[in-house]
Every structure is written in structure tokens, then in C-alpha cells.
Structure 1
């Protein structure tokens, strides 16, 4: 069952959301029909989901560093791998959507802001083996587990960036020419979300795709999503409730879509 604030926001989302017949943008119509609503199987789905099931049964304990704000920041605590897999990994429905987006747009340089155990990162990497996926994780012990998972799946196009995202993102941005695809899942507060978004904008181009996670997780994330939609460089957005898609296509009018998913 959804928490009350999420349930209330979800009800409002359902009231606003269009189905396919309500989409009048050719670009978004095709994206919705061919990618978002695609319900076929891809070779990567069972491979990554088998890994997910293994992690959900893994009761080993990791010493996890808290990189959040407030008095708990920097503290270490023990957490089971199974707990991390259950609470931090994107559900298959949305991780596979991200796979389809990468498969469709074929980005060359991908930033994944929030590795965790590497489930979503694996989907990103499997969707385009020619892409370089830079995945950012603050906690060294979790990053070590993710590295083992990439090896288990035979993934060779992931580059791990370990450390506090406030520092590592700026450093890595200086090393790439442009960003084709970014998945924002590194923080769920307003200020850092907007800061990371603005930082990545410095390397975006007209055909970049930005995906934001957990749009309605909190009042701060909801506020961040509203401000991102109004950003002068943002041309099109698609609200799918749990994730939001951001596009910068100047050939299309500035529009915000709320689509049923």
C-alpha cells in the first residue's frame, strides 16, 4: 500500500494523465506508443531479474555509509543486501522502461547518479553495449557489491565513480564532452536535485534525455519537478508518476505531458 502522501498524489496523477489518444505531439506519441507502452520481452530482462532475485535472498550484512543530510550524515550502519535490494533498486517495470529508453535513443555517454547494487545500472549498460555508463555511488561497500554484479552479468561498459556525489559529479563532468542520457537517482531533496540537474545541463545537447526518479517521493522532489518543467532550457517533459522524462528538442514546442503508465 502506498503511503498517504503518495496515494494522494497518485490519485491526482491518474485524474490528469492521458492515454495514447490524448497525445498530439508526434514525437511524444511515437515515444509513448513504441517505447513507454512496449510490453514485449528483451534478452536482458530475465538475466537482470535473476540477479535481482539472488540479491533479495542475500542476507549478508554490509557496513553502509550514510551520505544524507543532517546529524546522521557520515554515520555507518549495517544493512542486509536483501534490504538494500528491496528498498533501493527500481522495480522491474521502471528499470525496464529505462532499458527501452536507452535502447531507443542509443546514447553514447550515460550518467547514472545512484548505483546502489547495480540493478538499474545493468539495464542501462545492457541496453547499449557501445555506450559508456558512468555510475556514481557514495558507499564503497555497496560499490564493491555492484562491481561483482557487473562482472557476474558480463558487463564491461560500466565505469564506477565512488565517493560523495557533491564532489565526484563535478569532477567527472569535466572529463566528458557531452551527456546523452542521465538518470537522476542520487538524492531526493530539492537543493541537491536542482544542483545536480544544473550541473548536468552544462554538458547536455538538443537530443539529450534526462530521467528523474521518484517525482512525488516528497514535497521537495515535487517542487524540484515543477521547477524543472519550467526551466528555460527544458522543452518537453513526460510525467509517468514514478519517473519523469526531460527533453530539450527545440524543433518541438514546449509542452508538459502527464501520461498514464
Structure 2
């Protein structure tokens, strides 16, 4: 119910490119978010999703985050997880387009799950290096095997608690950081602040499920108002955060 009410409110305030005056964000909306190109990667993402939907595999899940609103058992079927705990078709395509648009090379993902987000990021650029972190060893190992079958070799899988893994990251900065795990206000803010040192002027942070709960929405408002953040684009299911010092501080709600 909270998500439904939040979505209705979002629709009342959201706009399209005509409500955007910043040239940078206008281009981002029209050339990236509204890009209608038929990319080969979309078919690959579709095939992978369909394979997972027809999988008979069951995983013993150790969920370090807030868990699923639908799946409560620790033993979960892959076919159910793909429908409830992974990036949707639309989200995967938006993630792919964003990483492709910014020609991102160094990419980090928090929350691998079944790899829909990581796969989209890996396909965005042949020269990219994707690092994805998953708290559950069984889920991480399963997805790692899928990527081996898919011949995806530009992705590194790290397993463990985010607070333990993040300080060990060797990259000085990332072009894209996708936050898709531990749907909790305090944890989301903690990871955001701990990864600010990994952001440069061109970095984009992508947040998933900002309206998953009241706490997550509060975390999103905190992030928007942070002194390091200049521009945000709220697409309801995904939020984009920019740190460009040449930009005036603005916040946009865009329908996609």
C-alpha cells in the first residue's frame, strides 16, 4: 500500500524532458532514459531471465538485508526469486542504457542476487570491469556459474557483508555504482556515505527501490540533500545521483 500511494504521488509531480532545463539532464533523459534503440543486449537479458524463470534450482538463501516482501522462507526457488528479488526487464534495460550512455568502465554493484543488474552492466561496455557484491554465498556461487555459461568474463564476484567488503575495494573510483541490496534506511545511508570516496565528478550512483518502504524513502531524501550531491533524477523504481560540481543543485522526477 505504501508503494502504491507513493507511486500515485510520484505521477502527480513527475514530468518528461519538457520540464527539464539543465542541458546535461535534458540529454540524459532524451538520449539515454528515452532511448528507444533495439539493442542486442536486450535479447540476451530476455533469454537469461527466461532461463531463470524455467529453472528448477532451489537455493538456501542467507539474506543479510531486509529480505523479501514476498519470499519469507530461507529456501527459495530461482523461478520465484527472479520475479520478486531481481531487477525487472525495464530496470535492467535502464541500467544497461545508463552504463552504455556514460561509457562506464569501472562499475560496482551492491547486491548481485541472480545477476540481472550485473549482466546488464557487464553487457554495456566490452571494456568495462564490473565488481558485484552479494551477501549470500549460495546465491553468489549460483550466479557466478551462470555468468561462466554466458561467457561473461568482465565481472568479479565478491561474497560477504557490504561493510566488510567496501573498505577492501581497490578501485580508486567508479563510474557507476548500483545500490541494489539491504533495503534499509540506516544501511543505505551508511553504504552511500562510505562510497562517496569512490565517486568522481562524472560518477553516477543508481539506487533501486527508493519507495520500497518509508525508511527507504527517507534515505533517498537524505541522499538528495547531501552536500556532495548536485543533481538527482527520480524515476520511481530507480534513482540517479550525480556529483557534477558545475551543475546547480536540482532534483527531477521523470516518468519513464
Alignment of 1:1-261 (within 5 A): 4-68=1-65, 77-172=74-169, 175-261=170-256
Query: After the TM superposition, which segments of 4 or more aligned residues of structure 1 sit over 6 Å from their partners?
Result: none
Per-residue CA deviation, residues 84-104 of structure 1 (Å, 9 max, x unaligned), is: 111111111111101000001
Cα distance in 2 for partners of 1:259, 1:48 equals: 24
Mapped contact 1:113–1:135 kept (Cα < 8 A): yes
How far off is 1:146 after superposition? Answer: 0.7
Give unpaired runs (5+ residues) of structure 1: none
Mapped contact 2:65–2:181 kept (Cα < 8 A): no
Per-residue CA deviation, residues 50-94 of structure 1 (Å, 9 max, x unaligned), is: 111111111221111121369xxxx98211111111111111111
The two structures, once aligned, show a CA RMSD in angstroms of 1.5
Give the count of matched residue pairs: 252
Cα distance in 2 for partners of 1:138, 1:223 equals: 24
Q: Relative contact order: is structure 1 or structure 2 higher (C-alpha 8 Å, sep ≥ 6)?
A: 2
Give unpaired runs (5+ residues) of structure 2: none
For normalisation by structure 2, the TM-score amounts to: 0.95
State the SS of the aligned residue for 2:171: coil
How far off is 1:251 after superposition? Answer: 1.2
Mapped contact 1:111–1:182 kept (Cα < 8 A): yes
Cα distance in 2 for partners of 1:158, 1:192 equals: 25
Cα distance in 2 for partners of 1:246, 1:141 equals: 31
How far off is 1:128 after superposition? Answer: 1.0
For normalisation by structure 1, the TM-score amounts to: 0.93
How far off is 1:152 after superposition? Answer: 2.0
